[in-house]
Amino acid sequence: MRPGDDLASLALDGCEGERIAPSDGDVFAFTQKVVSKSEGRIVSLAGVAPSALASRFAEESGRDPRLVEIVLREARRVVRMDRSVLITETRHGFVCANSGVDASNLEDEDTVCLLPEDPDGSAGKLRGALMERTGKKLAVIVTDTFGRPWREGQVNVAIGIAGMAALDDHRGLADPRGRKLLVSAIAVADEIASAAELVMGKLGRVPVAVVRGYPFEAGGGGIGPLLRSPEKDLFR
């Protein structure tokens, strides 16, 4: 995958190879990595001048100070910087480790990969291209692998969405006996991202999965409904 490569075409070629004929209602899930690569979101560490803060934390945590510098540049606030862990809020509003900056699965050792500039926009462009070429009604999710407080292990979540509602909103609905549900809204886009990870894996270099049969609600709200505002967040 190189900057400017036509990711939608490559995904459809992959479908053909796997004998998957895209159908109305399919959700195409792409890894952040392949989307970022196709958009040229790879930056070289050469020539990056780390700040004093980046250098100190890099030393403490045994990392490349230039990488830490790029992580800080991609952040709009630092949420935790402690015990070798650097959790930030990215410019998009994601709270995640290292601003989503990743150094694995790259050809050049001295480069790192940034999140897409506008993951909803990335999803929208991919969806447009996929729908034009297939004539099918599709949704697209760009996914990344995030850690969670309280629980060990990472899970795949959505970072960009096009063509479907992010939440299945039950707020105000009642159970069959008329009692109000305590659970208010299911983050179905995150659940689809997690389901997709099970077939994409982390080492297998499968950058796209087709999730079929989920009756998603059409919608254009993108990732916004999944981002908790700092004011409403008790853990930021």
Measured between alpha carbons, how far is 61 from 55 in angstroms, rounded to an integer? 10
Q: Which is nearer to a second copy, 137 or 170 (CB)?
A: 170
Q: Say whether residue 155 binds a second copy (CB under 8 A).
A: yes
The SS3 of residue 142 is: strand
Query: Which residue, 77 or 133, has its beta carbon nearer to a second copy?
Result: 77
Binder of a second copy out of 197, 207, 208, 209 (CB under 8 A): 197
Q: Find the binder of a second copy among 23, 202, 217, 218 (CB under 8 A).
A: 202
Q: 50 to each of 19, 72, 144, how far by Cα in Å?
A: 48, 10, 26
Q: Which of 140, 124, 157 is nearest to 228 (CA)?
A: 157
Answer whether 161's CB lies under 8 Å from 123's CB. Answer: yes
Considering only the stretches 37-45, 70-78, 126-134, 168-176, report the one whose residues sit in contact with a second copy under the rule CB under 8 A: 168-176
**93 class by beta-carbon count within 10 Å (0-12 exposed, 13-18 middle, 19+ buried):** middle
- Among positions 112-151, residues that touch a second copy (CB under 8 A) are 145, 148-151
Is 2 a binding residue for a second copy by CB under 8 A? The answer is: no
Contact with a second copy (CB under 8 A) among 4, 19, 47, 109: 109
The whole-angstrom separation of Cα 77 and Cα 87 is 9
Residue 23 interacts with a second copy (CB under 8 A)? no
Q: Does 85 bind a second copy (CB under 8 A)?
A: yes
Binder to a second copy among 95, 123, 162, 208 (CB under 8 A)?
A: 95
3-class SS letters over 11-42: HHHHHHHCCCCCCCCCEEEEEHHHHHHHCCCE
Residues that bind a second copy (CB under 8 A): 80, 82-83, 85, 87, 94-95, 97-98, 102-107, 109, 145, 148-157, 166-168, 170, 173, 175-177, 179-188, 190-192, 194-195, 197-199, 201-203, 205, 214, 225-228, 233-236
